[in-house]
Amino acid sequence: MKAILLREIKSFFGSPIGYLVIAIFLLLNGLFLWVFDGDYNILNSGFADLTPFFTISPWILIFLIPAVTMRSFSEEMRQGTLELLLTKPLSLWQIVNGKFFGAMLLIVIAIIPTFIYVYIISSLGMPAGNIDMGSTLGSYFGLLFLISSYTAIGIFTSALSENQIVAFILSVFLCFIFYFAFEGLAIYAPEFENLISSFGMDSHFKSMSRGVLDSRDIIYFVSLTIAFLSFTVYKLKTLHA
């Protein structure tokens, strides 16, 4: 698995992809949070917290992560190197996990520079340091689990087609369904609102953003991640059969 992971990281940073992903994520967040007027501008909100960042990031990542993962297996199938990869002395789980952790590590690297936002907001608070660190740390943990689920979905869709654009569109669609669609559907069934919402990422992410790491939220994200990685392994088995 380590060899696959290192290969993915070298691939990302051996081309403009890795640098572009990091730059685009930081640029978009920076513009919405500090430059553009609107609901996401922290300076105009009047509150010393990072709620706007954690509100907009899942929507940016819903497009950015599929752009990273769409090549994971699609490129291997297109170039005809997937069969060669599958014949290596590695289990399918090691191959899938290597691809998964390689893509996830790139996104985590893009997240790390945003820690400076915490320092800036803390400094701007009245008095200085007046920031809810509990909810901030909880939100970062929630974002990490969200990235994990998005990445697993992206890895799965990349194994479905050798066309990277198809893999990208499918990944964006599934990420959108699991992040927002259940929350939207819950509005039309008030009596089952909590139940329907619990199937979506949004409610669990918001729960973690309150600063309380509930085991139900963690189990949800871990289960979703493992489920889509399992689907990927199953798909590769059918291709290798």
The pLDDT confidence band at residue 76, using thresholds 50, 70 and 90, is: confident
Domain boundaries, the chain: 2-240
Work out the percent of the chain whose per-residue pLDDT is above 70.
95
Q: Per the structure block, which two tokens stand in for 234?
A: 């199953």
What's the pLDDT tens digit per position in 47-73?
A: 667 888 999 999 999 999 999 999 889
Fill in the DSSP letter of residue 179. I
What integer pLDDT is reported at residue 241 of this predicted model? Answer: 59
Res. 159 pLDDT band, cuts 50 70 90: very high
Helix (H) or strand (E) holding 177: none
Per-residue pLDDT of 118-144, as tens digits, reads 888 877 766 665 677 788 888 999 999
Query: Distances in Å between the alpha carbon of 223 and those of 3, 145, 149, 188, 195?
Result: 26, 11, 9, 26, 17
> Model's pTM, two decimal places?
0.92
Judged against a pLDDT cut of 90, whether residue 101 lies above it is answered with yes
CA-to-CA distance for 78 and 238, rounded, in angstroms? 17
Give the residue, 188 or 28, on which the prediction is more confident: 28
Residue 62's φ and ψ, nearest 5 degrees, are -65, -20
Does 123 or 158 have the greater pLDDT score? 158
When pLDDT is averaged across residues 162-181 and rounded to a whole number, the result is: 94
pLDDT of residue 128: 61
